[in-house]
Amino acid sequence: MNTKALKICLSLVFTASLFTTGSSSAHALGANEAPKAKNVILLIPDGMAPDATALARWYQGGTPLALDEMASGLVRTHSADAAIADSAPAGTAFATGHKSHTGYVGVLPDVANMPGQAAIAAEDAKKPVASVLEAAKLAEKATGIIATSEIMHATPADFSAHYPDRSNYDALSEQQVYNGIDVVLGGGSLYFTPEGRKDGEDLVQAIKSSGYNYVTTPAELNASNSGKLWGLFAPKALDYDMDRDPAEQPSLADMTKKAIDVLSRDEDGFFLMVEGSKVDWAAHANDPTGIISDVLAFDEAVGTALSFAKQNGNTVVLAVTDHGNGGLTIGNADTTKTYDEEPLSTFIAPLSKAKLTGEGLEAMLNEERSNVREVMEEYWGITDLTDAEEQAIREGEDSLNYIVGPMISKRARIGWTTGGHTGGDVILYSYLPDDKRLTGVLDNTDIAKFMAAALGVDLNATTDRLFVPARQAFEAKQAKVTLNEEDPQNPVLVVTKGSDTLKLPAFKNIADLNGQRTSLEGVVVYNGENVFVPQQAVDLIK
């Protein structure tokens, strides 16, 4: 073996050793060896490819990321019927321990034909299944969700709602409001107002009426002392961190710290899910500045969670993306023959000139887009814009980051294989009590099972308790069951037996028995075909 080959071999052995243990003193655990923990924090950098962390690390001068010491394994990402997963089924796997179908949020698939997947019985298709958050809530633990997207976007919705269509924001957001989550922080305030909803409901008022402190600015977030907290800081998604105005929107780390402060007051412990949503969006656009922006912002949130866990001593912290995206590589076709001769500055220098992401540039262009060259020079350091590139920016109808991302990528020799998701394994990061690590190649469903075991909750039992097929259960009690769809946006299950009439509005935790209103421990879920209710609702009919 020559000297160069020997060095490579030794480097690979050393790297593999670090990757397996996370640190020299860490203890390895398999997927079936979850330690009992009071708290679990799951952080998801949606769509983050392995090269994204390397790029972000080099961008900040090679300083290690908070994630680095936690690297411990790999996770398989396929869905029930596809090798490359959409965020909805990928998040469903993390949340519930079940694989699902593209676009399905918190429900079983109707087709499961990937190798190793059991077929889905016809009666189970699209059936809601309980999330770790819902199981933790029934165990009297505090719960929270955070996202930089709209809060009812696929991943946060996977932990807090159920519907076989991720685009049905009305159904998903309504469930979130009525699902009894203690802390909810993110974007999407438009979809909680009558103006932003097909059903015309005022969910902001419903949030306030339920005893939450509803905040919309970082100052209000910091000032809140409430144990029930909703914060929505933008009409739609939050800005990329590089573009963010700190007076208008909190950082992901700010939201994570506040959520931990609130949730850790619960003596029974807590479950918290944190998503860095727009890593994925930047990857779709092939915009490396957006990737760097939000990977570093996500890593700061990881550092916040990790600091708490080390001090607390009874907290599991996991970080893992739901799928790759974009096929990002440091190096592209232009470096085929020069890859080992290129200095670091080849890749980083063009990116370090950017003051905004591709999305952030939009606000700097005037209405006629006649100042393209000035904006690209001032905010992206590009002084050699071609006439064709200028025209593409001026005439482009897509989001600007989709147009300019590839431009700076070319100059920085950053490669992309796709504008969509990818199907490879992703890196698992873990920190467990006593400095343990979760190791090996896991399935994405193992993440939910591991978290449930750590918290001491039973996902199957929670599903049986929260999602009883309503018609079957009530008819077994000789009751009559009808679905009132006079208002198609607000269907109501009506159950009658003798002199009793029970009304169960879809997507709420409300039961009205003979005019007496009761709060249920879970929401009523209508999947477009069947209604599922908590056992508590069934027990109201004698």
**Residues of CATH 3.40.720.10 domain(s) within the chain?**
27-328+419-425+440-465
Per-residue model confidence (pLDDT) at position 5: 41
Assess whether pLDDT exceeds 60 at residue 400.
yes
Contact call for residues 118 and 134 (beta carbons, < 8 A): no
For the chain, give the mean pLDDT: 94
Question: Predicted confidence band at 423 (pLDDT cuts at 50, 70, 90)?
Answer: very high
Q: 361-386: per-residue pLDDT in tens?
A: 999 999 999 999 999 999 999 999 99
Residues 6+ apart with CB under 8 A from 464: 535
pLDDT tens digit sequence for 205-264: 999 999 999 999 999 999 999 999 999 999 999 999 999 999 999 999 999 999 999 999
Alpha-carbon gap, residue 284 to 327, rounded angstroms: 10
Which residues are identified as catalytic?
A: 87
Query: Considering the chain, what percentage of its residues have pLDDT values greater than 70?
Result: 95
Average pLDDT over residues 309-338: 98
Strand partners, 331: 414
For 48-95, write each residue's pLDDT tens digit.
999 999 999 999 999 999 999 999 999 999 999 999 999 999 999 999
Q: What is the mean pLDDT of residues 483-512?
A: 97
Identity of the highest mean pLDDT range in 19-23, 149-153, 398-402: 149-153
For domain 27-328+419-425+440-465, give the CATH number.
Answer: 3.40.720.10
Distance CA 447, CA 449 (A): 5
Residue 25 has pLDDT above 80, yes or no: no
- Does residue 17 register a pLDDT over 60? no
DSSP 3-state assignment of 242? helix
Coil, strand or helix at 528: coil
> What average pLDDT does this structure show over 437-446?
96
Of residues 366 and 10, more confidence is placed in 366
Written as one string, the DSSP assignment of 223-239 is H---SSEEEE-SSSSPP
Please state which architecture CATH assigns to domain 468-538. 2-Layer Sandwich (3.30)
Q: Give the burial class of 117: count Cβ atoms within 10 A of its Cβ; 0-12 exposed, 13-18 middle, 19 or more buried.
A: middle
Do residues 291 and 416 touch, judged by C-beta distance below 8 A? Answer: no
Residues of the chain with CATH 3.30.457.10: 468-538
Q: What is the pLDDT of residues 92-116, one digit of tens each?
A: 999 999 999 999 999 999 999 999 9
Least confident stretch, 4-13, 358-367, 522-531: 4-13
